[in-house]
């Protein structure tokens, strides 16, 4: 067992919380107790995973989503619940017997140990793109924040990738991701700087770290390069129409706008960020605001900057 690993026990009921902590500590698993998800997030804990009790609470699923949003979808969570959620591999059923809560402690210990080991053995590079991934990306950003250096973070997200994969297949989707990585790498090389860093957070989510002076130019070049590159995957009819068709499960054809890329640039200068998740939260908020405006083309959104370098830059 990794001695540095610890489990955040997020359970409202004190008796159950103490019982879980006792069982895990007996197996030499470090635990940190919290009454709620909000308390856990506010603590800025470095726990390797969370044990989350959503029993009898309507907001339980929201708590799972809140944890994922704050720490990333790859953050491991063992869920305690009455009904096992769909596709929730790490879930423990809790039952009420004679007015007391019952659960399988050995099953809980087993799942927590499995997750800690898998977290400890997490690959440092993404298997598809070969880019730094997972905890490596997080630690890199944490180190920069701790150093006090000003930098710019560029977060990216591809739009309609699920439909793209349905239409063309996952092998073609992987090809698009790899070509996108090549585009980002060549763009960073053209703006060489000691701060430059490219990481793969998962699926079609990437993150770039660079200096504040070059960030907007880099983002603009990536947006233009992506739009030129992605055209090779679509037919002339698709391009002229501005959309492509995908058959749903019922065999009906659904229209989707051509695949685009959304970039947001976040500057740390003049702002306080204590954790990478706070940067990601700002990025997600910017993307949501742009989408609310009905923009359906590739774009670069900037939270705070004085001048534009591209007509498609969106300033919020």
Q: What confidence score (pLDDT) does residue 133 get?
A: 87
pLDDT surpasses 50 at 306: no
Distance CA 119, CA 105 (A): 21
1-5, 51-55, 141-145 — most confident range: 141-145
Residue 165: CA count within 13 A, CB half-sphere: 12
Instruction: Let me know if 247 is exposed, middle or buried by CB neighbors in 10 A (0-12, 13-18, 19+).
Output: exposed
The boundaries of every CATH 3.40.50.2300 domain in the chain are 6-120
Distance CA 210, CA 188 (A): 8
| 6-120: CATH topology | Rossmann fold (3.40.50)
Chain CA centroid to CA 133, Å:
11
Overall size of the chain counted in residues? 316
According to the CATH classification, is domain 135-315 in 3.30.70.270?
Answer: yes
Sign of CA dihedral 41, 42, 47, 51: negative
Distance CA 228, CA 68 (A): 33
Q: What is the mean pLDDT of residues 196-223?
A: 94
Q: What confidence score (pLDDT) does residue 274 get?
A: 85
Mind giving me the DSSP string for 27-58? TT-EEEEESSHHHHHHHT---SEEEEE-TT-T
The radius of gyration of the chain from alpha carbons, rounded to an integer in Å, stands at 22
Mind giving me the DSSP string for 215-260? HHHHHHHHHHHHHHHHGGGS-HHHHHHTEEEEE-TTS-EEEEEPPE
The boundaries of every CATH 3.30.70.270 domain in the chain are 135-315
Q: What confidence score (pLDDT) does residue 63 get?
A: 82
Q: Across the strands, what pairs with 264?
A: 155, 301
Sign of CA dihedral 238, 173, 163, 278: negative
The pLDDT tens digits for 251-304 are 889 999 999 999 999 999 888 888 888 898 889 888 888 877 777 788 888 865
Q: What confidence score (pLDDT) does residue 268 get?
A: 92
Distance CA 183, CA 223 (A): 10
């Amino acid at each position: 067992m990794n001695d540095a690993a610890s489990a955040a026990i997020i359970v409202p009921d004190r008796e159950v919380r103490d019982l879980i902590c006792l069982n895990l500590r007996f197996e030499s698993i470090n635990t940190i107790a919290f009454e709620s998800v909000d308390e856990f997030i506010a603590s800025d804990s470095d726990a390797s995973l969370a044990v989350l009790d959503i029993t009898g609470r309507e907001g339980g699923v929201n708590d799972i989503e809140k944890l994922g949003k704050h720490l990333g979808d790859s953050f491991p969570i063992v869920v305690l619940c009455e009904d096992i959620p769909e596709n929730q591999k790490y879930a423990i059923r809790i039952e009420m017997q004679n007015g007391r809560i019952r659960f399988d402690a050995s099953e809980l210990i087993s799942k927590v140990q499995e997750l800690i080991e898998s977290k400890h053995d997490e690959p440092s590079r993404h298997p598809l793109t070969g880019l730094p991934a997972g905890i490596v990306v997080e630690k890199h950003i944490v180190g920069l924040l701790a150093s006090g250096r000003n930098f710019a973070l560029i977060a990216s997200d591809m739009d309609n990738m699920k439909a793209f994969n349905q239409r063309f297949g996952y092998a073609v989707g992987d090809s698009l991701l790899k070509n996108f990585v090549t585009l980002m790498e060549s763009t960073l090389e053209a703006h060489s700087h000691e701060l430059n860093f490219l990481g793969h957070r998962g699926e079609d989510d990437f993150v770039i770290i660079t200096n504040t002076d070059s960030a907007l130019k880099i983002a603009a070049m990536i947006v233009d390069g992506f739009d030129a590159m992605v055209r090779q995957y679509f037919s002339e009819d698709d391009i002229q129409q501005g959309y492509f068709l995908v058959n749903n499960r019922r065999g009906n054809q659904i229209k989707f706008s051509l695949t685009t890329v959304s970039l947001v640039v976040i500057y740390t200068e003049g702002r306080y960020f204590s954790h990478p998740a706070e940067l990601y939260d700002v990025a997600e908020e910017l993307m949501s605001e742009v989408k609310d405006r009905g923009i359906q083309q590739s774009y670069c959104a900037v939270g705070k900057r004085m001048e534009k370098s591209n007509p498609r830059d969106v300033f919020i």
